[in-house]
Chain A
Amino acid sequence: DSGVTQTPKHLITATGQRVTLRCSPRSGDLSVYWYQQSLDQGLQFLIQYYNGEERAKGNILERFSAQQFPDLHSELNLSSLELGDSALYFCASSVGRVLNTEAFFGQGTRLTVV
């Protein structure tokens, strides 16, 4: 158990809909990272929050947004969903604002858009 909790584990929704994925970091970790893993792809960095503030952005679509709350849990919002958004979405957390050491990953949320 990595200590990072993601909910839900599975999500099936229709195109055009909006979903929210939730992540609770390890106790004491201030950074939360979101990654997307599409079929046969590596993990693609989406966005990082550190202590409630956006710290870095990767290949995140404009239809996607995220936030980190005062209790440090984070939510990733995906809207106007398309078939190609079907993927595994991982959340990871680390202590510092700079990822120079290992990050701890949650089990992921498998999103299926039909």
Chain B
Amino acid sequence: DQQVKQNSPSLSVQEGRISILNCDYTNSMFDYFLWYKKYPAEGPTFLISISSIKDKNEDGRFTVFLNKSAKHLSLHIVPSQPGDSAVYFCAASEGGANNLFFGTGTRLTVIP
């Protein structure tokens, strides 16, 4: 049973516009959420995270929003750049746990 879901397998955005990647989760015990970016032939690279005590975390062009009541988080990239083209994975963990639960990923293509 997939506890973290990314329902959009792909997303295309024009350069300079906003990219919004969505993620839903089912386990209310998750208290830490992360986004990873993955280029072809490379391992996932940590991008940004958010604790469940916050509803927003910003790092440069990347902002993650968390809506606990909806069990939903989103990653906003503004402005989008061609180098952002990659697969983005949402991940979640439960306090004290030793595991990250990953979504299936969303392939972002930023069109120049």
- For residue B60, CB closer than 8 A to chain A, the reply is no
Size bin of chain B's contact surface: 20 to 34
Q: Is the beta-carbon distance between B93 and A108 smaller than 8 angstroms? A: no
Q: Is the beta-carbon distance between B99 and A48 smaller than 8 angstroms? A: yes
Q: Is the beta-carbon distance between B104 and A103 smaller than 8 angstroms? A: no
Q: Is the beta-carbon distance between A48 and B98 smaller than 8 angstroms? A: yes
**Which residues from B are CB-within-8-Å of A55?**
98
Q: Given A42-B2, A99-B93: A105 and B99 within 8 A (CB)?
A: no
Q: Is the beta-carbon distance between A100 and B41 smaller than 8 angstroms? A: no
- For residue A17, CB closer than 8 A to chain B, the reply is no
Q: Is the beta-carbon distance between A56 and B98 smaller than 8 angstroms? A: yes
> B31-62 toward A: CB 8 Å interface, digit per residue (1/0)?
01010100001111110010000000000000
Q: Which of A40-68 contact B (CB under 8 A)?
A: 40-45, 48, 50, 55-56, 58
Q: Is the beta-carbon distance between B45 and A2 smaller than 8 angstroms? A: yes
- For residue B101, CB closer than 8 A to chain A, the reply is yes
Closest residue of chain B to A9, judged by CB?
B41
Q: Is the beta-carbon distance between A99 and B43 smaller than 8 angstroms? A: no
**Which residues from A are CB-within-8-Å of B49?**
101-102
**Which residues from B are CB-within-8-Å of A107?**
41-43
Closest residue of chain A to B35, judged by CB?
A102
B38 to chain A, nearest CB (A): 8
**Which residues from A are CB-within-8-Å of B95?**
100
Residues of B near any A CB (own CB < 8 A): 2, 4, 6, 9, 32, 34, 36, 41-46, 49, 89, 91, 93, 95-105
